[in-house]
Structure 1
Amino acid sequence: MRFPISGLTSALAICAALPALAEPNFNRIASFATPLNMAAGEDQSRASSAEIISASEDGMTLVYTDSPLGVIGLIDITDPAAPKPLGNIAMGGEPTTAKIIGGTAFAAVNTSKDYVNTSGKLVSVDLATKAVVAECELGGQPDSVAAAKDGSFLAIAIENERDEDLNDGDLPQMPAGFVVKLPLKDGAVDCAGLQKIDMTGLAELYGDDPEPEFVDINAAGEIVLTMQENNEIVLIGADGKVSGHFSAGAVDLDGIDTKRDGKMDFTGKREGALREPDGVKWVDGDHFAVANEGDYKGGSRSWTIFNRDGSVVYESGASLERAIAEIGHYPEHRSKTKGVELESVEVATFGEVPMAFVASERGSVIGVYDVTDPKAPVLKQLLPSGVSPEGMVAIPQRNLLVSANEVDLREDGLAPAHVMIYQLAEGPAAYPMITSAGSEELIGWGALSGLAADPKEAGKLYAVSDSVYAAAPTIFSIDATQTPAKITSAMVVTRGGDAAQKLDLEGIAADGEGGFWLASEGRSDKLVPHAIYHVDAEGAIDQEIGLPEALLANETRYGFEGITVVGDTLWMPVQREWKDDPKGMVKLLAYNTKDETWGAVHYPLDAPAEGAWMGLSEITVKGDWAYIIERDNQIADKAVTKKLYRVALGDLAPAELGGTLPVVKKELVRDLLPDLGVLNGYNVDKIEGFAIDAAGSGFVVTDNDGVDDSSGETLFWSIGAMK
């Protein structure tokens, strides 16, 4: 894989800790933001997406569907580590899937007026000229498209999807869906040869309203189809006739989180969860894999391999979801419904190893399995993806895997949709960089917002989770001597024996006696106080320190971000300017635990780029220096400032509140922005934790926002010895 030069120190540190000859692994080598395909002069702020993705036969060109723009987008991956935009092509409707055969892209396009008056077409595009050369009416609203291995025909699922706002989305809702088989002659669609394959009367559930979802074709020309809402799987022979069908069945789940309550509790159960599969792919001539997303009344958080006779040969149950939780990608806010929501599956043979790739839409992660034995798949890796991976395509002849990640969050100041490219090569996996895997009991985690070092043991760190998990504020112990770093234990912060409420932990510091000082950012409009807490070695709060009126009179929602100890004094940076601060100045607040007095100095912020704000995220002291994280609130290509500064301890002379505060001088230690490129994804926003361990090595961690409107990626790395 390629690493940015500036991130090479971290990459080499990872590689040096592993054997010289490691087994092959997938690593991300490039990311492509979909707005790059817009033409000069277009409004590039418009919402864009990458949904279903396919590759040309030579593996050099990608085509993806972009529903918001009504286009298909093309990407040149001749050099997969440096993808180039080839532009968008308008489809005259909403494209759902596109496939490339020879020099032609075939795109299914939804042209329906509404959910009752459904229509669609297959659009043929000459890739050399990027011109539409043919259109073929399909008779309904299309979803997925599959191409026969020999290029002789296309299969199209005509879903005629339900209106989820009509009668609470209840079925049946007409018109009924069906499957289309379209022959190809000399690389062109034979519209006159269109075969409509009826799906009514097959499913036990809502048989008069079939909802075809996803199709795949094996080497023998047989079609496998999922009908998601009907919880049914259908086989269609090479002659275009239904050769078999069966219920996808249900799964009993154990060891899952079933409540959206601001904490991770993997002790729940759910019995009889309908699979309601979405994506499906043939594993071989007799087996196929499905991703059980659920859409109507089901969703088993699992993926399954079936035999063509309908028997289950493998069921993942909660195992993949639990593995996703171990790397910090579990979407707790989806616990009540479909959890990690496995949506799509891809199957391909790399070398001599048949592999299955299962994408979690809500966890924004891809599970990589060795399926040499379809009865016993082996989870080999978890790959970080963009926000909500919708489609994948494997290009085994080039050792590549590509994901299409559909969500564009720029309206909220977040990341655009991305296509991401991974390469299988000899060497270690770069991700995850921190995990709880291997613990006796599952430790779910996320939103790491503060970092501290054990004062005695090198490589031992502590982190806290923020308000995303307000129902169970937690202190995590980390062994940073392992690669990836290992979360070894989790201790809930308590008050009166119960999990403490009204906390927004953003800072942690060891007190040197087994306990901790904690900083809570606070937010008065949500009745969460700005405060300092002390907890004992068991996590019980034994001291609470509120802010004086002189501070509270000028508060804003942006409070403490970090805490550190200097003798009898606690220092806390305030993230942004409060009402009494000059523009571009924020307070470093001091609280003397012996005298119970407050003071402050001013810290000068870098000037933010237009439309951005600047703030502080962390503070830690080592030797004669206080180290401070300063960052903007920008993400992806908008990110500019992610820096580590230091201030001489001699400058930290707190003045009385209410008067003029002295301004400290800061010195740049490291620009952390290049380090964020080590995984070849987009730049994340929140670098929120920094600590220097007992041996003098600096460690950095990012906050993944609990995988809510986030890719869920947590970066954890060492910047080496702090001199």
Structure 2
Amino acid sequence: MLQKITIPGITLFALLVIGCTDHHIEEPVNENPASFKEVAAIDLGGTAASEISAYDPSTKRLFTVNNEASALVDVLDLSSFPNITKLQPINVSALGGVANSVAISEGKLAIALEATNKQANGSVIVVNTSTLAQIKQIQVGALPDMVTFSPDGRYIVTANEGEPSADYSVDPEGSVSIIDIQDNYAVKTLTFGGFASSYTQLAANGFRIYGPEASFAQDVEPEYVAISSDSKKAFVTLQENNGIAEIDLVNGVILKINPLGTKDFNILSNAVDPSDKDNKVELGQWPVKSFFLPDAISYFSVNGAGYLITANEGDAREYAAFDEQARVSTLKLDATVFPNAAALKLPENLGRLRVTSTMGDTDKDGDYDVLYGFGGRGFSIFNAASGQLTYESGKGLEQEVIKANIYDDDRSDDKGVEPEGVTVSVMNGKPIAFIALERVDAIAVYDLSDPASPKFLQMIKTGDAPEGILFVAADKSPNGKVMLVSSNEGDGTVKFYQAN
């Protein structure tokens, strides 16, 4: 049930949880958001054995996507937390291909399942969290990569990425599916072809359509969904395209696409380390404009205004038939724009940095006039109503990682710390962001009370490559204390944290 919580200056109705699923509401409790410590952990296997988790307060069960060997959802009993008991998993391998995401609302577990043929339409499996009996299987678009419930529990929404085949011979349309539970799980799948006529304007502001012979609708690849507190709008990251789509859930229409532009690494406040061969960790200014390319997105409210926070991971298209990545050292740079091109192309400078080969020759004379990189190496906050940028973390997030002495210089030439997951919840009356950093195995914690000036609180070490983050409110938690859960794809662990 949707519940309104009002605190002076802050109103929250519901919160996006995990690096891939659910919504929760909680009363403020007196716990310090800068004091999270690991209190429990479980190892579910190897790589891909722990990707996304969702928690059901009614059964005190955690459901975790496990694709190590086959399409499973592991079921963990937390009723005696911090003791954890692994129950019989849900095996969905006979229903399709890989399980990508899970979400929970009011005793229902939604599982996003891609088809055995990845380019065919996938489905959502709805399961009773108590009996584990299947309630429904609903067809959605190709490659449902993320699933979530609206805060009021009425809608299930999937981001259907629609990735091409390795040889790019089949490229399904990217889409968003809206399932209306109240209307017997009726589904409406929305595609993006109607925005093709706006591409020139979108491209001028940093939106990318660039797949080989791909139409606008085929090239758009939805990644992640956040839903507004009133359950009326969805905000969907279009990661490879560098944009956010706004969707009217009630009427089932895509309202607009907000292109995200680029981040200028030649500005001191945006400084980066672009080399894994310079034998040091040092943030500097470099002539690169980088696409934000956000993965996860979360919705929160402050002073009655809605905001979106994005984890600007970056992602390149890399297929057998088409790989857009190129090292700067391999490119011909315009001599006028880059008079020091030879020095720039040294491995200890920009030479090792991966950039896109699909853009940058602005005058079409065969050399690169602009270098376009992948990812923002931080996070952004937008006004949800206007789409305007409220805050950009600049070099701040990576500076905190460096201070914590956990920066991985081997990833400097790629996308840095790669912020992948993000969720916002409320503690002590304040909206708190948890940002999963895939390449440094950590979660950064920020106070978002002032969305224009977030305050860093803590860096929490996780398992290898945290993929999903889940916040469980104190009144929903198995032991009455707020609980943070990281699902770590690299080592197959799930780790649990609680605050003082």
1:155-213: CA deviation from partner (whole Å, max 9, x where unpaired): 101111244x547xxxx97211110000113xxx834x211122235453213321000
1:419 maps to 2:494? yes
- How much has 1:384 moved relative to structure 2? 0.4
Matches within 5 A, 1:200-211: 200-202=193-195, 204=203, 205-206=208-209, 207-208=216-217, 209-211=219-221
CA separation in 2, counterparts of 1:252 and 1:79? 50
TM-score normalised by the chain length of structure 1: 0.50
Root-mean-square deviation (CA, aligned residues, Å) is 2.2
Task: Find 2:176's aligned residue among 164, 176, 179.
Answer: 179
1:359-397: CA deviation from partner (whole Å, max 9, x where unpaired): 100111000000011111101000000000000111122
CA separation in 1, counterparts of 2:32 and 2:408? 32
1:282-312: CA deviation from partner (whole Å, max 9, x where unpaired): 0225210000011025211110001121211
CA separation in 2, counterparts of 1:401 and 1:22? 13
CA separation in 2, counterparts of 1:321 and 1:57? 35
Give secondary structure in 1 for the equivalent of 2:117: coil
Instruction: Indicate if the aligned counterparts of 1:229 and 1:295 stay in contact, CA closer than 8 A.
Output: yes
Instruction: Show the counterpart of 1:667.
Output: none
Task: Find 1:268's aligned residue among 280, 284, 295.
Answer: 284
1:3-49: CA deviation from partner (whole Å, max 9, x where unpaired): xxxxxxxxxxxxxxxxxx988611111111114xxxxxxxxxx7551
Matches within 5 A, 1:571-650: none
Letter in 1 for 2:60: M
Question: Residue 316 and residue 162 in structure 1: after superposition, are their counterparts in 2 closer, same or farther (change >3 A)?
Answer: farther
Instruction: Show the counterpart of 1:195.
Output: 188
Letter in 2 for 1:248: L
Once structures 1 and 2 are overlaid, which stretch shifts more, 374-383 or 312-321?
A: 312-321
TM-score normalised by the chain length of structure 2: 0.71
Matches within 5 A, 1:210-221: 210-221=220-231
Letter in 2 for 1:234: A
Give secondary structure in 2 for the equivalent of 1:301: coil
CA separation in 2, counterparts of 1:290 and 1:242? 19
Question: Residue 59 and residue 103 in structure 1: after superposition, are their counterparts in 2 closer, same or farther (change >3 A)?
Answer: closer
Question: Residue 108 and residue 22 in structure 1: after superposition, are their counterparts in 2 closer, same or farther (change >3 A)?
Answer: closer
CA separation in 1, counterparts of 2:111 and 2:225? 15
CA separation in 2, counterparts of 1:366 and 1:301? 14
Instruction: Indicate if the aligned counterparts of 1:75 and 1:84 stay in contact, CA closer than 8 A.
Output: yes
Matches within 5 A, 1:357-396: 357-396=434-473
Instruction: Show the counterpart of 1:249.
Output: 261
Give secondary structure in 2 for the equivalent of 1:324: helix
Task: Find 1:317's aligned residue among 385, 388, 394.
Answer: 394
Instruction: Indicate if the aligned counterparts of 1:119 and 1:138 stay in contact, CA closer than 8 A.
Output: yes
Task: Find 2:378's aligned residue among 302, 314, 338.
Answer: 302
1:305-330: CA deviation from partner (whole Å, max 9, x where unpaired): 01121211111112111211222221
Instruction: Indicate if the aligned counterparts of 2:32 and 2:499 stay in contact, CA closer than 8 A.
Output: no
CA separation in 2, counterparts of 1:126 and 1:422? 27
1:288 maps to 2:308? yes
Give secondary structure in 1 for the equivalent of 2:397: helix
Matches within 5 A, 1:646-661: none
Instruction: Show the counterpart of 2:368.
Output: none
Letter in 2 for 1:190: N
Relative contact order, higher structure (CA 8 A, sep 6+):
2
- Is there any run of 5+ residues in structure 1 with no aligned partner, and where? 1-20, 36-45, 409-416, 426-723
Letter in 2 for 1:64: T
Q: Over alpha carbons, which structure has the higher Rg? A: 1
1:229 maps to 2:240? yes
Instruction: Indicate if the aligned counterparts of 1:57 and 1:100 stay in contact, CA closer than 8 A.
Output: no
Give secondary structure in 2 for the equivalent of 1:277: coil
Task: Find 1:341's aligned residue among 397, 415, 418.
Answer: 418
Instruction: Show the counterpart of 1:403.
Output: 486
1:78-111: CA deviation from partner (whole Å, max 9, x where unpaired): 3432222123111122111111222221101011
1:78 maps to 2:79? yes
Instruction: Indicate if the aligned counterparts of 1:220 and 1:238 stay in contact, CA closer than 8 A.
Output: no
Instruction: Show the counterpart of 1:411.
Output: none
CA separation in 1, counterparts of 2:411 and 2:435? 18
1:98 maps to 2:102? yes
Letter in 2 for 1:387: D
Instruction: Show the counterpart of 1:51.
Output: 51
Instruction: Show the counterpart of 2:344.
Output: none
Instruction: Indicate if the aligned counterparts of 1:29 and 1:80 stay in contact, CA closer than 8 A.
Output: no
Instruction: Show the counterpart of 1:134.
Output: 136
Instruction: Indicate if the aligned counterparts of 1:57 and 1:101 stay in contact, CA closer than 8 A.
Output: no
**Identical pairs, percent:** 27
CA separation in 2, counterparts of 1:157 and 1:23? 30
| Runs of 4+ more than 6 Å apart | none
Instruction: Show the counterpart of 1:682.
Output: none
Instruction: Indicate if the aligned counterparts of 2:33 and 2:457 stay in contact, CA closer than 8 A.
Output: no
Instruction: Indicate if the aligned counterparts of 1:250 and 1:273 stay in contact, CA closer than 8 A.
Output: yes
Question: Residue 234 and residue 83 in structure 1: after superposition, are their counterparts in 2 closer, same or farther (change >3 A)?
Answer: same
Instruction: Show the counterpart of 1:571.
Output: none
Give secondary structure in 2 for the equivalent of 1:259: coil
CA separation in 2, counterparts of 1:59 and 1:166? 45
CA separation in 1, counterparts of 2:421 and 2:435? 6
Instruction: Indicate if the aligned counterparts of 1:112 and 1:119 stay in contact, CA closer than 8 A.
Output: no
Instruction: Show the counterpart of 1:238.
Output: 249
Letter in 1 for 2:222: P
Give secondary structure in 1 for the equivalent of 2:394: coil
Instruction: Indicate if the aligned counterparts of 2:33 and 2:432 stay in contact, CA closer than 8 A.
Output: no
